[in-house]
Chains A and B, each alone.
Chain A
Amino acid sequence: MFSFSVPLGKLVRTLSRLRGGGSAFPGLVVEKIDPGFMQRTLSSLPHGVAVVSGTNGKTTTTKMVVELLESQGLKVFTNRTGSNFTRGVAASLLGDVDWRGRLDADVAILELDEAHAVHFVNKVPPRFSLLLNVLRDQLDRFGEIDKTARLLEHIALKTTDTVVLNREDPRVARIANVLNVPGAVHNPSVRYFGLDESLRSTFPNDDDMRTATTGPSSPNTPAPGTAGEVSDGPAADVVLRRVGAQDADFEFDGETVTTGMKLRGVYNIFNAAAALSLARAILGTGAVDTPKLVKALGDVAPAFGRGESLTVDGQPLELVLVKNPSGFRLGLKSFPAGGYATMIAINDNYADGRDMSWLWDVDFESLREDGVEVLTGVRAYDMALRLQYDEVRFGTVETDITAALHAFIDGSRGKPKRIFCTYTAMLAIRRELAKITIVEVVS
């Protein structure tokens, strides 16, 4: 079917790119003049649409799923960083369809923020969904984490084929209980990704964060019809068994495989188990080249600002994005301070979350021994106050990120560097670093 909306939308996209304008505007245009565009285009894909959502790790996980599927010869459509909402998906589609509106892809893997995902799945019910976690992030947008969990539940209820859930996050695992009840529209099957018991203590959930009884969290009610590992929840499709310095063990199909990992940080590697489980669901029972799949997993490089390593003055400089207490705690645990010069950059713009209270739920004691060189960002003094109460030494406090970054680089010559930063602080730091080193451009 030929529709004028596609050529028009593509034209708007070309024009707005020439102007250097926003990426979502052409999506808005095509949505207005042809509301069925997105649904029509995506429903033509042989493997359908998979949605990746959750508080943390969407970008890296989506990237992993794409690379895993590409390793099996699939053509994948995906939305790039910064366009993880409905209009952004439509805009990305416009860039990839031909002039007749056809998308040359086998499957779409879409990263969607929890709130936007709800609108999206109402328009385009996905065949697959992967629900990563519900953390105490963005409470200033969603109010409470139970509300966020309900948003994810809605995505699961709209999924037609398979829902992949995080067994170790009680709010996510519990979503299984609302699926496949009498009268449900869809009856998707449920599969889990999980952690070895020995790794669970490294993933405290938000409810356990400040109690004496911090321990493993497991779903209260195992899903019906699953066998094995019943003592600590339902059996998982993929289990992360071990995380080494450069490699990791994943168990699936009853076997444990070891692979080198380019990704850093336990939480990124746990999300690799999530990506593997979703990819396996999409590939189904067809011929899967497992060695290639595992190699692709090991080759995934971190996405934009998520544990990226750049080179400055011949020394590595790592950017670690921190958005919430669990993420910051895991960041501190995954990237030990020893031998590194550390900077922390905290902004409170809308995209960071306006509420600074979460800094008080992070334990900074691990920084006591080496201290922190520079604190920056709009809320640098909130961070200074936080470190004062945790008895962590710090040097310069400078709210201007550009000045702070240069002070940090000058003051820590010859040392590897690490910067923990909130989202908009990361953007500012990357912009500044691009002037002195090569920083990958993500369109």
Chain B
Amino acid sequence: MTSEAQPAKGTVRVLQLYPRDMNIYGDWGNALVLQQRIKWHGYTPELLEYNVGDEFPGDIDIIVGGGGQDSGQLVIQDDLQARADHLRALADDGAPMLVICGLYQLFGKFFKTSAGPVIPGIGILDVETHGTDERLIGNVTLKSPEFGDVLGYENHSGQTTLGPGVEPLGTVTKGAGNNSKDGHEGARYRNVVASYLHGSLLPKNPAIADFLIRTAVERKYGTFVPGTPDDDYARLAREHAARRPR
């Protein structure tokens, strides 16, 4: 743990999107990891929440959004549409974002649920999702060109396919990923990282957390001066997780 006081190098504002309705499977862990690592890198974190009906805060450096049940997606869909232009402008401008599971689906073009109705997405990601009766559940490992081995746990019945406007986050070595066919997991567009992996994603994958933080700081202050977080336990937790069966 890096606890020695360092001179603050500036603030980093992290916004959690819809934690009230889209926060399941430990999504809070991603926000907590960003908050602590920002601190361990010597910057000052500010953690904010945005829920349906709130005023959208300004000066946001990182956006993080989680999974939810189908019912949660229905609750937020109109509000998300009303924010679509703003979120798209931020993404196009290079703001780092992490969207998991339900919000991954809704950052795409649409989610056609298995019951029939189509929930429109906001189209930041060139992906589409179809609900199925097959549930993809279990431990996952993937190889990512940017982040190395990525570990997590998946639990989804929506299956996502990537269009030409995005790259996958990685190639699955254990588990299913975006769908049960093509071996891709997640999506990457500019500085947006989208994934079905909870587990939570960031605690055991600090490389992705640090990518989001570095990008945010460079975008805001020009240069990023990293600290030295102690990642021994993250490494050990990764080693043990990698040995667990699907």
Point out residues on A near B: beta carbons under 8 Å: 136, 139-140, 143-146, 206-213, 348, 354-361, 378-382, 384-386, 388-391, 397, 399
Contact = CB atoms under 8 A, between A and B. Distances in A.
A305 B36 CA distance: 35
B135 interface: yes
B28 A143 contact: no
Interface stretch (B77-85, B121-129, B199-207): B199-207
Nearest to B31: A210
Interface of B is mostly: mixed
B41 interface: no
B150 to A, nearest CB: 15
A361 B241 contact: no
B71 A146 contact: yes
B19 A210 contact: yes
B118 interface: no
A136 B28 contact: no
B137 A143 contact: yes
Interface of B: 1, 3, 19-21, 23-29, 32-33, 36, 49, 51, 69-71, 135, 137-139, 153, 155, 157, 198-200, 203-204, 230, 233-234, 236-237, 239-241, 244
Contacts of B3: 391
Given A211-B49, A354-B139, A357-B198, A381 B25 contact: no
A144 B198 CA distance: 14
A208 B3 CA distance: 31
Contacts of B24: 136, 139, 144, 206
Closest 4 CB pairs of A and B: A360-B29, A357-B26, A360-B26, A381-B237
Which of A209, A356, A390 has the most CB atoms of chain B within a 10 A radius of its CB?
A356
15 contacts: A139-B155, A140-B138, A143-B155, A348-B244, A354-B138, A354-B244, A357-B29, A357-B198, A358-B25, A360-B27, A360-B28, A360-B29, A360-B200, A361-B26, A385-B237
Contacts of B25: 139, 355, 357-358
A355 B157 contact: no
A209 B23 contact: yes
A151 to B, nearest CB: 15
Nearest to A212: B49
A381 B236 contact: yes
Contacts of A354: 138-139, 153, 244
Contacts of A359: 26, 29
A382 B26 contact: no
Contacts of B32: 360, 389-390
A230 to B, nearest CB: 26
A211 B17 CA distance: 11
A143 B157 contact: yes
Given A357-B198, A399-B240, A385 B203 contact: yes
Given A209-B23, A356-B199, A360-B26, A144 B70 contact: yes
Contact of A384 (B71, B153, B233, B244): B233
A418 to B, nearest CB: 23
A165 B112 CA distance: 34
B195 to A, nearest CB: 13
Contacts of B234: 385
Given A348-B244, A380-B240, A381-B240, 10 more contacts: A146-B70, A356-B241, A357-B25, A357-B200, A360-B26, A381-B237, A385-B203, A385-B236, A386-B203, A388-B230
B130 to A, nearest CB: 16
A384 B237 contact: yes
Contacts of A355: 25, 153, 155, 198-199
A355 B204 CA distance: 14
Contacts of A382: 204, 237, 240-241
Nearest to B206: A385
Given A355-B199, A360-B200, A381-B233, A210 B23 contact: yes
Contacts of A390: 32
A358 B26 contact: yes
B186 to A, nearest CB: 16
A390 B3 CA distance: 12
Given A140-B137, A143-B157, A399-B240, A357 B199 contact: yes
Contacts of B33: 389
A77 to B, nearest CB: 36
A211 B204 CA distance: 24
A146 B102 CA distance: 15
A144 B69 contact: yes
Contacts of B244: 348, 354, 378
B98 to A, nearest CB: 14
A389 B234 CA distance: 10
